[in-house]
A and B are shown apart, each in its own frame.
Chain A
Amino acid sequence: MDGFPKYLLRRLLQFFLVIFLGVSGTFFITKLSPVDPVEQSLSLMTNFGATDPRAVELMRQALAELYGLQGSIFEQYLAFWGRVLRGDFGPSLSSFPTPVMSLIMSALPWTVGLLTLALIITWTLGNLLGALAGYYRTNTLLKLSGAVVMALHPVPAYIVGLVLLLVFGFIFPVLPISGGAQMNLQPGLSLDYIRSLIQHGTLPALTLVLVGIGSWFISMRSLVSNIVTDDHVVYAELGGVSSGKIFSQYVARNALLPQLTGLALSLGSVFGGAVITEFLYNYPGVGRLLIQGIYRGDYSLVLGVTTMSIVAVAVAVFIIDLIYPLIDPRVRLG
C-alpha cells in the first residue's frame, strides 16, 4: 500500500512541476523578446506594396488591438495560463488569425508519428543489439555493429541527416528528400498513401535512428554485462535453463527496466533532434513549425510550440512512468 501510491504521487508532482516551471519559464523568456509582433506583421504586409505612410500608422493601431498585447506583464501571464489550460495560444502572428493551437495540432501528428516510429526502432534495435553484444561478448558481427553505432552516436543529427540526404537524394536519388507525403495524394488508409508516408519518412527516421541508437546500445551493453553476473542469472545458468531463455527472461527483461526510465528521460533530447531533422527534410512537423516561427519572428507561435513540446514531453514521460509499474512488479506491488 505504501510504495505504489507514493510512487504515483511523486510522479504526478514531478509532472506538474515540469509543466509549471517549463511554461512559466518560456513565457517570461519570450516576453523579453525584442521582436515586436505588430511591426513584424506590418513589415510582412508592406514589404512589397506601395503603402502610404499614413495608412501604415492606422494599420499599426488596428493590429495592436487585434493581437491582444495589452495589459501588464503579470496580467498577460495570468491570461496566458488561462489560455494554456484551455489549449489556446491565441492567434499566430505570422499566420493571423489562425490559432497557434490549430497550427500545432496539424503539425503534431507528423512529429508524433515520426518520433514514435524512430524511437521504437531506435530503442528496440539499440537495446537488442546492446543486449546481444553484452551477452555474447565475443561475436564479431556484434562487435562490428557495435563499433559502427558507437561511432555514429556523438555525431550531431544535422550532419548525419545531411550526409543521408546527399547520398539518397542526390548521388543516388532513390528517396524523396522533402515533405511528408507525395503531392496530390489524399490522406487516408490507402496503400499508396501509406507507402508514400514510409518513403518520405524513411530518411528523417533513419537520421534519428542512426543518431539515437548508439546511446541505447552502449547503456544496454553495460547493463547486460553487469546483470549477467547477478545471482539470479548465474543461478539460472546453474539450473540448466536454456541460454535463449536466460537471455530473454533473466537478462534482457531486467535490463530493460532502467532502459525504460532512460527512455522517459531521453524524450526531451530526442525531440531536439527531431526539430533539426524536420527542418532539414522539410518535414511538416512541430520542429519545422518552431524554426519557421523563429525565422518569421512569430513569438506566439514560438511560445506555443515550446510550451506544447514541454507539455508533450512531460505527458509522454508521465505515460512511461505509469507504464513502468506494470512491468516492474517491485514498484507496482510495493
Chain B
Amino acid sequence: MNADVLKVEGLKAYYQMNYFGVRREVRAVDDVSLTIRRNEIYGIAGESSSGKSSLIKTIAGAITPPLRVVDGSVKFDFDGRTLDVYAEPQAMKGARWQNLSYIMQGSMNVLNPVRKVKHAFHDFAFKHMGLSERDFWAKVEQHLQRIGLDPRVLESYPHQLSGGMRQRLTIALATVCEPDFIIADEPTTALDVLVQQDVLALIKDVQRRMGASIIFVTHDMTVHAAIADRIGIVYAGRLVEEGPTLDVFRRPQHPYTAHLIGSLPRIGDSRKRSALPGKPPNLADPPSGCRFHPRCPLAIDKCKTDNPALLPRQTGRVACWRAGEVEAA
C-alpha cells in the first residue's frame, strides 16, 4: 500500500484574462510539487494573496475560469485507485465526498440559505453511504452527536445557527462519509478565538478517529502550530519551504519563513517585532529570480537573476540560495 495519498507534480495554474484587448496572465500557482501521506495533516501557510488559496482550490479541482491549470497534475490515491483530478473529471466526481471532501473558506455561506440543513446532508452524502433512508439519518444523527451537535439542527436553516455551529456543521458534513482525504480552506478564519480552538480540536479529533489525511490552508501560523504535522510555505505562487511543523518553527530555512514565524507574538517576549518591508509581489508581473528578493534582508545579486529550486535540506525542502544562513530572528 502506497503511503502517499496525494501527489502534486509541477502544478501551474494561471488566471488568464482578456480584458478589453489586454491579455493578462496571473501566475497564481507556479510550478508546485508536493506529496501528502496517509494520516497526515499538512498545512499551507503564507500571507494573503500569496497564492495559497489558489493552490488549494487547484488541488481540490475547484477552480473556475479565468483560473486555469496550465501544466502539471494532481493525483489522488484512494485504496490503490489513482485518480487524476484534471484528467478524469468524471471519476473524480464520483470520488467526491466518498473519498475526498472539502471544508470551504468562509464556511458561513457554504450552506444553501433557503434550504434546511438536512437537505445538504442528503444531497452530499446519501448516495455514497449505500444505506436506507432510516439508517442514513440514524448514522447522520450519531455523527452529529459525536461532533457535539444536537441532531435537531438538521431541521434548521443556516441563518438560524451561530457561526461556530455552522462551522461545526460543515465539518460534520465533510466528515460524515469518513473520507480518506479532507481539504480545508481557512477553516477557522471567520471564527472568534474561543470557537477557533474548539473547532481545531474537533478537526484533529475527527482526523485521528477516522485516519484521514488533511490538507489545509490558513495564514494564521498559530493554527499550523496547533494541528499540522507538516507545513508548506507559499510565497508568490511558489512553494518556498516545506518540512515537519516542529522543525520549520524551530529552524526555518527560508528568510520568508523566518519572517512569518518571527512575527508571531510570544509570551514573555516584549521585543518589538520588525515588520517586513514591502508587499507581496504583483503576480501578473512577478520579480525576476527569487520572487522574494526585493523584500529579503539576505538578498544577494544571484537572487535577482536566478530562481532557486526547491531542494531537499535536512528534514524538509527549501528554495533559497542562502538556505541555512537563516536564523529565526
Contact = CB atoms under 8 A, between A and B. Distances in A.
Nearest to B128: A240
A232 interface: yes
Interface in B141-186: 157, 159-160, 173
A145 interface: no
Interface string B5-44: 0000000000000000000000000000000000000000
Given A240-B96, A245-B123, A231 B160 contact: no
Contacts of B106: 231
A235 B114 contact: no
Which residue, of A230, A232, A257, has the highest number of chain B Cβ atoms within 10 A? Answer: A232
A166 interface: no
Contacts of B96: 238-240
A231 B97 contact: no
Contact of A239 (B113, B115, B124): B124
Contact of B111 (A232, A240, A327, A333): A232
Interface in B44-72: 60-62, 64
A54 interface: no
Contact of B110 (A229, A231, A240): A231
Interface in A230-285: 230-232, 234-241, 245, 249-250, 253-254, 257
Contacts of B214: none
B109 A330 contact: no
B297 interface: no
B265 interface: no
A39 interface: no
A36 interface: no
Interface of B: 60-62, 64, 93-98, 101-102, 104, 106, 109-116, 119, 123-124, 157, 159-160, 173
A231 B157 CA distance: 16
B102 A238 contact: yes
Contacts of B97: 239-240
Contact of B124 (A231, A240, A329): A240
B114 A231 contact: no
A328 interface: yes
A236 B109 CA distance: 12
Chain B CB within 10 Å, residue with most, of A229, A239, A245, A253: A239
Given A239-B123, A254-B113, A330-B114, 18 more contacts: A231-B104, A231-B109, A232-B112, A232-B113, A234-B62, A235-B102, A235-B111, A237-B62, A238-B60, A238-B62, A238-B102, A238-B104, A240-B95, A240-B98, A249-B112, A253-B115, A254-B114, A333-B159
Contacts of B98: 240
Contacts of A231: 104, 106, 109-110
Contact of A329 (B64, B102, B114): B114
A249 B119 contact: yes
Contacts of B62: 234, 237-238
* 7 pairs of A and B residues whose beta carbons are closest in the complex: A240-B96, A239-B124, A235-B110, A231-B109, A329-B157, A238-B102, A232-B112
A249 B101 contact: no
Determine which residue in B98, B115, B116 has the highest number of CB atoms from chain A within 10 A of its CB, and name it.
B115
Contacts of A236: 112, 123-124
Contacts of A249: 112, 115, 119, 123
* Interface SS of A by simple majority: helix
19 contacts: A232-B109, A234-B64, A235-B111, A238-B104, A239-B96, A239-B102, A239-B123, A240-B93, A240-B94, A240-B98, A241-B123, A249-B119, A249-B123, A250-B112, A253-B112, A328-B114, A329-B113, A329-B157, A330-B159
Given A239-B102, A241-B124, A245-B123, A253 B114 contact: yes
A254 B158 CA distance: 14
A259 B170 CA distance: 29
A333 B157 contact: yes
B160 A333 contact: yes
Contacts of B112: 232, 236, 249-250, 253-254
B123 A330 contact: no
B104 A234 contact: yes
Contacts of B111: 232, 235
A129 to B, nearest CB: 22
Between A231, A253, A257, the greatest number of chain B beta carbons within 10 A of the residue's beta carbon is seen for A231
B297 to A, nearest CB: 39
Contact of B113 (A235, A237, A327, A330): A330
Listed residue (B97, B112, B123, B157) with the most chain A CB atoms within 10 angstroms of its CB: B112
Nearest to B113: A330
Contacts of B93: 240
Contacts of B60: 238
Given A235-B102, A239-B96, A330-B157, A230 B109 contact: yes
Contacts of A237: 62
Nearest to B183: A238
Contacts of B159: 329-330, 333
Interface string A206-245: 0000000000000000000000011110111111110001
Given A238-B60, A238-B62, A329-B157, A232 B110 contact: yes
Nearest to A245: B123
Nearest to A327: B114
B166 to A, nearest CB: 12
Contacts of A241: 123-124
Nearest to A253: B114
B51 to A, nearest CB: 19
